[in-house]
Amino acid sequence: MCTHCGCGHDHHHTHDMSVSNERAIAIEEDILGRNNAIADENRAYFRQKQILALNLVSSPGSGKTELLTATILAAKAQLKMAVIEGDQQTSNDADRIRVTGAPAYQINTGKGCHLDASMVRTALQEMTLDNGSILFIENVGNLVCPAEFDLGEAHKVAILSVTEGEDKPLKYPDMFRAADVMIINKIDLLPYLRFDIDRCEAYARQVNPSIRILRTSATSGEGMDAWVKWLTVESALCNLE
């Protein structure tokens, strides 16, 4: 059972629900406390090597991997990039990344619904990352649990495709509140959909007034220049620290 986010269900009845709830809260705090301690270690490692680490979060099917491959192809002349791929099963996404020439490490979580800092630390021990590079951590497709789990990243980047509802930021406020950047992806499909992109941006700012919003299409290339420019600036800032 995933005690910290309610992804599982405990069917054991108890005569004292308050005791059960207190125990669940204590377990959750313990899990998050241990996670955050390891996340701080990851963050120190990234800072030491001046690596810009980004935690990419979204629902399944938002186009994260396609956007990543397009990003790597568009920016590999000026940026050094690597990827940690999180999926419940298969290495399909990591294989797609490796075709671009960028190193990729696959984490399979099995029944787990998110990456945690310990998984990322294990991946880092297996990878050789260049100083001053960008590390994309593609989280498991899920807009609930990854909001709580710090991986040591500099920024969470929430990716929302126009094939989803524009009210996603209101339905999953914790995630969009935790994110510094929202990418509205697959905008080449807008002519074929009833998706109000301005309303989506307004909803995101209602939840997180300081969120930066970018519009992209990995297929047409629209908006990719602005995304790569943001990556370049943030990476340069890491190199100044």
| Residue 3 pLDDT | 46
For 64, the 3-state DSSP assignment is helix
d(CA 26, CA 15): 19
d(CA 93, CA 9): 30
d(CA 31, CA 14): 23
Residue 186 Rama label (left phi>0; alpha psi -120 to 50; beta): left
- pLDDT < 70 regions, the chain: 1-19, 24, 27, 241
d(CA 201, CA 169): 9
The domain spans of the chain are 17-240
In the CATH scheme, what is the code of domain 17-240? Answer: 3.40.50.300
- Residue labelled with tokens 């069917």: 11
Q: Fill in the amino acid letter for 214.
A: L
| Residue 112 pLDDT | 79
| Residue 19 pLDDT | 60
